Structure 1
Amino acid sequence: MGSILDIYTGYFGLSARPFAIAPDPDMLYWSNAHRRAYSLMEYAIVTRAPITLVTGEVGSGKTLLVQHLLRNVGDDVVFGLVSQVRGKAEDVLPWVLLALGEPAEPEDTMVDLFSRFEERLIREYAAGRRVVLVFDEAQNLSDTALEQIRTLTNMNTGTDELLQVFLVGHSSLKERIVGTILQPLAQRIGAACHLPAMDAETTGEYVRHRLRSVGGNDDIFTDDAVDLVHEHSGGLARLVNQLCDFSMVYAFSKGNPQVDDLTVMQVINDGVFFAGQALLPPAAREEVMHIPVFRSRATPQD
């Protein structure tokens, strides 16, 4: 017997789950904002911008865009993806070295770590390659750690940058960097882009794109359903995915060939779409009704 996901995708004639939460570069939707951001990121690499800042709301697709960049830049670029650093400046270099496949032992001094990092940069430069470090979730870094990253980008040959850095994080990161303490870092940023939440029209295009990507029809979601998805997700791709995924499960459970606005509202009222509750004002959360919705597919609909 197939799993619930096999049944759900098969019921709608889909080759895979269209609204999975995990980032999938093959499912990337190129909104105008994503195209602008990606073009700027490519331009930053070509022009050897020392630091590039990529910000966006939670779930806006920043990580997905970075993953696409990692997969599609030429062999003359060596990437190191750093996503584990939490705060202290002394934590930065070990994670950077590990991201580049270099050893970093607990007994290594900062001098040892820096020397090993510098040697790697010079080696790559001599081979005609550039090193790009991507710090994902960079809003978690302390000001001291961000300042240390800035100092790493000072390494150059006199004419060429040996290292480029992408700082990828929430919108709050930009606000921190423009503050007085991090002004030296702000002055090293050669390019910056921001991924906003999707508007209603873009949300509709996004939903239809995800359905088409797995062999589905545009009309699986009615227009009213998409409008409701946008309203309750705030246009954030991650939340759109969650609400659409639950809505398709509900529609399947009731034997409905389409996801309509009633089905989406039932998901919301049931409290299943928990992340979306945070977008509602407190009074609206109090008014949410919990209406049982799962029924046998053999049960006649009201």
Structure 2
Amino acid sequence: MSQALGYYLDHFGLRERPFALAPDPEFIFWSPEHRGAYAMLDYGLSTRAPITLLTGEIGSGKTTLVHHFIDGLDDEVTIGMISNARPGVNDVLRRVCAALSLDLEKDLDSSDLFAVIQTFLLAQHAIGKRVLLVIDEAQNLNRNALEDLRMLTNINAGRDEVLQLLLVGQPELRTTVRRPDLVQFAQRVAASYHLPRLDPAGTAGYIASRIRHAGGNPGIFSRQAAELIYETTQGTPRLINQLCDLALTYAFAADLKMVKRDVVQQVLNDGVFFGAGGFPDA
């Protein structure tokens, strides 16, 4: 930890940085919408839904929620994770194999890859395990890739389906799945949830929750400061984190123990918060 960051934390009585950008399941904020999304993930898994969709705007907290969900699963679920999906038929099957830690021979075609995955899935079922494949940034998948994934969900052992998919992505994923040429894929989506941005009250609660979790006083940010943060970020958690972190830095530099609206406004006036000009593309 740098000396400057140490001073930053000491100044506000914090154990750790409350607004780091990396997804951290321990910092999850349980808004009603996040509880609804979690309940749908749990529903999808427990009912053995072939495909579950979780969508949301960029920076809405999807990845943090999914990691929290995964961390709570027991050893009866084998998890494969593709963190950044890319389009392509062979590519998606190879990435499924990599996510499931399957050894591959060279020069395997799509049918060979499918057979390798099928053998693994049936072997997992035979020892009482089910397999959950999580694909983040799933809006990047093209039609052929989605069709390959659908075919994997058709693998079964008797009446039991042996693979469940959790696709996580931006709102355009829902649009893609609804295309007429993907009707068979859509019919296998048995659970879905769209995670919206936070509202003004949710934004204030989110800020207070993260400060509290980091060991600080949740009243560090004034109500007026939280209102301006909402107006600027429109309730997008990733942008809230960026702006709050800068505001805490400014307050520390000014030897202030509370972040008020004028501190946030100064951050905006200085142009150091790039989210102020619109939402980032990544």
The TM-score with structure 1 as length reference comes to 0.90
SS in 2 for 1:227: helix
One-letter code aligned to 2:86: R
Distance of aligned partners of 1:156 and 1:221 in 2 relative to their CA distance in 1, 3 Å threshold: same
1:88-143, Cα deviation, whole Å (9 max, x unpaired) = 11101111111111123552222332221111101100000000100100011112
One-letter code aligned to 1:47: T
What residue in structure 2 maps to residue 294 of structure 1? Answer: none
SS in 2 for 1:22: coil
What residue in structure 2 maps to residue 142 of structure 1? Answer: 142
The answer to whether the 8 A contact 2:153-2:162 is kept is yes
Identical counterparts, % of pairs: 45
CA distance, structure 2, for counterparts of residue 49 and residue 2 of structure 1:
47
Structure 1 unmatched ranges of 5 or more: 281-302
CA distance, structure 2, for counterparts of residue 142 and residue 276 of structure 1:
32
One-letter code aligned to 1:210: R
What residue in structure 2 maps to residue 274 of structure 1? Answer: 274
What residue in structure 2 maps to residue 76 of structure 1? Answer: 76
Alignment of 1:1-302 (within 5 A): 2-279=2-279
* CA RMSD, 1 decimal: 1.5
One-letter code aligned to 1:88: G
1:63-112, Cα deviation, whole Å (9 max, x unpaired) = 01110111111211111001233111110111111111112355222233
| Higher alpha-carbon deviation: 75-84 or 45-54 | 75-84
One-letter code aligned to 1:121: L
The answer to whether the 8 A contact 1:85-1:91 is kept is no
1:26-79, Cα deviation, whole Å (9 max, x unpaired) = 111111111111111111111100000000111111101110111111211111
One-letter code aligned to 1:220: I
CA distance, structure 1, for counterparts of residue 63 and residue 106 of structure 2:
29
The answer to whether the 8 A contact 2:52-2:166 is kept is yes
SS in 1 for 2:216: coil
SS in 2 for 1:19: coil
One-letter code aligned to 1:36: G
The answer to whether the 8 A contact 2:90-2:109 is kept is no
- Measured after TM superposition, the shift of residue 3 of structure 1 is 2.1
Distance of aligned partners of 1:74 and 1:279 in 2 relative to their CA distance in 1, 3 Å threshold: closer
- Measured after TM superposition, the shift of residue 144 of structure 1 is 1.4
Higher relative contact order (CA 8 A, sep 6+): 2
The answer to whether the 8 A contact 1:84-1:95 is kept is no
CA distance, structure 1, for counterparts of residue 258 and residue 225 of structure 2:
10
One-letter code aligned to 1:270: D
One-letter code aligned to 2:136: D
- Measured after TM superposition, the shift of residue 2 of structure 1 is 4.9
SS in 2 for 1:181: helix
CA distance, structure 1, for counterparts of residue 240 and residue 259 of structure 2:
14
Structure 2 unmatched ranges of 5 or more: none
The answer to whether the 8 A contact 1:200-1:227 is kept is yes
CA distance, structure 2, for counterparts of residue 85 and residue 67 of structure 1:
16
Distance of aligned partners of 1:175 and 1:2 in 2 relative to their CA distance in 1, 3 Å threshold: closer
The TM-score with structure 2 as length reference comes to 0.96
Distance of aligned partners of 1:107 and 1:84 in 2 relative to their CA distance in 1, 3 Å threshold: farther
The answer to whether the 8 A contact 1:221-1:258 is kept is yes
Which has more radius of gyration? 1
Distance of aligned partners of 1:148 and 1:111 in 2 relative to their CA distance in 1, 3 Å threshold: closer
| Higher alpha-carbon deviation: 12-21 or 138-147 | 138-147
